[in-house]
Amino acid sequence: MDESPELASLRKRLEDEEAGYASLLASIDALAAFPLPYEKRPDLPGQMAALNHAVAPAERPAGGGLGGAFRQRTWDAVAPGFEHQRRFNSLVVQVLNGFVDESATLYAHLRELAAVTLRHTQRVLPVMDARDRVATALATTRAELILEAFDRRQETLGRRMEGLLALRARVTTLGEEMSALRRSLEAAPPPPAVAAAAQRAADDSTYAAFEACYRGSREEIRGRLADYVPRFEGLAPVLDLGCGRGEFLELLREAGVAARGVEGNLHVVQDDVARGLDVVHGDLLAFLQATADGSVGGVSAAQVAEHLPPPVLQRTLQQSFRVLRPGGLMILETVNPRSLVGFLEVYNRDLTHERPLHPDTLSFLASAAGFTDVRVELRSPVDAAARLQPIPTDGLPPRVAEALNENIARLNGLLYGPQEYALVARR
């Protein structure tokens, strides 16, 4: 397709600049090739040597007899003039010697300066090319990050749409139920307990729709929790606290591990029971307190601990330790507040979260409750394409590139660290 006038003008300017740069290199190269005086006039050193010899002082004539006496007297008469001329010639030769030497030195310096200028100018273009490659790579990376962010946003919007459709269907059903209830209430107002139960049911339905929209589909959650299952093999029965839609209970059942769940959302519990899962409706702490000492082999809770107030969390850890038999396993999965992405995009989204739990804090509380072999496992890493990308090293000094990429790695660890972690501990 045809170029825009602005792009054509920019391309023409680039071609002119490249032609000017090539002309500059050719001119400097030609200037750097001039000869030194001794190279251009190889006979000059011999001529200077002859000139220096010519100004040597004349010797006094020797000899005897009448002729010798005559030569002596003649020499004595003209010697002062010769001496004056000799001093003059000597000064002229000294000036010429100094001028020639300094000129040769100056020409040598000029040629070296031209050579250095040429070498420096030749290095400019590769540096500019490297800078352009870095800029191009960064532009490509930024474009990839934008596309990746767009894909994630599109995926998120898709999940939200699914949740909204489910919520719409639920709202429609609730609307019909409320209409029927309103008609019956017009005849006889309900007791306060009935009204509170109706409100709780409406809240449960709303939160179930929220989780369906933002936490992920049932298959996504199964995929995230699947690698916990082998750890609980041979530890039945297992208690799943805050089991939600029952994805982990389903995985344990498929693996042949007996498990039971407790969930406070009545709407979700009804769906779990309808799918044949062993789930009770109630408070998880009360559920633990009603369980016998050392009667279970495993306790799990995914995305539950951050919903509990600190006193309730501590009692939950203490009761979990009590109900586990020796060698029993506890796994608590929660949001990683040390990841800025996890904190902003996962933790802050849910209004029912009580407070973020630093891995060190949860590890200390588990140890204080009596657990041993307490360790933290980071989970749900951020996609590599969404992280800050290393700077290409072409054309950059090695130490500069190393420092830049080291800082980028540190920022990635702080901003784009794993979004979740699992606390793993033994009774």
Residue 284: CATH number of its domain: 3.40.50.150
Nearest to 426 by CA among 380, 374, 391: 374
Pick from 144, 175, 191: which residue ends a domain?
144
- For residue 313, what pLDDT is reported? 97
Listed in sequence order, the DSSP H helices in 188-246 are 192-214, 218-225, 229-232
Judgement on whether residues 41 and 137 belong to the same structural domain of the protein: yes
Q: Band the pLDDT of 115: cuts 50, 70, 90.
A: confident
Asked if the structure places residue 200 within a domain, the reply is: no
The parent domain of residue 265 ranges over 223-426
Judgement on whether residues 139 and 236 belong to the same structural domain of the protein: no
Evaluate if residue 98 carries a pLDDT over 70. Answer: no
Judgement on whether residues 241 and 101 belong to the same structural domain of the protein: no
Evaluate if residue 356 carries a pLDDT over 60. Answer: yes
- CB atoms near residue 64 (< 10 Å): 8
Judgement on whether residues 109 and 244 belong to the same structural domain of the protein: no
* Mean per-residue pLDDT, 309-323: 97
Asked if the structure places residue 176 within a domain, the reply is: no
Q: How far apart are CA 327 and CA 426, in angstroms?
A: 6
Judgement on whether residues 414 and 281 belong to the same structural domain of the protein: yes
125-129, 194-198, 312-316: least confidently modelled range: 194-198
Judgement on whether residues 407 and 262 belong to the same structural domain of the protein: yes
- For residue 404, what pLDDT is reported? 85
Q: How far apart are CA 335 and CA 374, in angstroms?
A: 18
Judgement on whether residues 265 and 407 belong to the same structural domain of the protein: yes
Q: How far apart are CA 275 and CA 250, in angstroms?
A: 9
Asked if the structure places residue 99 within a domain, the reply is: yes
Here the tokens at position 154 are 């599109």
Mapped onto helix, strand or coil, the DSSP state of residue 172 is: helix
Distance in angstroms between the alpha carbons of the first and the last residue of the chain: 71
Count of the separate structural domains present in the chain: 2
Judgement on whether residues 32 and 123 belong to the same structural domain of the protein: yes
CB 143 within 8 A of CB 398: no
Pick from 114, 144, 174: which residue ends a domain?
144
Here the tokens at position 85 are 């001329």
- For residue 344, what pLDDT is reported? 81
Asked if the structure places residue 150 within a domain, the reply is: no
- For residue 68, what pLDDT is reported? 67
Asked if the structure places residue 374 within a domain, the reply is: yes
Asked if the structure places residue 153 within a domain, the reply is: no
Tokens 């009590």 sit at which residue? 322
Judgement on whether residues 231 and 329 belong to the same structural domain of the protein: yes
Judgement on whether residues 43 and 140 belong to the same structural domain of the protein: yes
Judgement on whether residues 138 and 232 belong to the same structural domain of the protein: no
Asked if the structure places residue 167 within a domain, the reply is: no
Pick from 126, 144, 162: which residue ends a domain?
144
Asked if the structure places residue 157 within a domain, the reply is: no
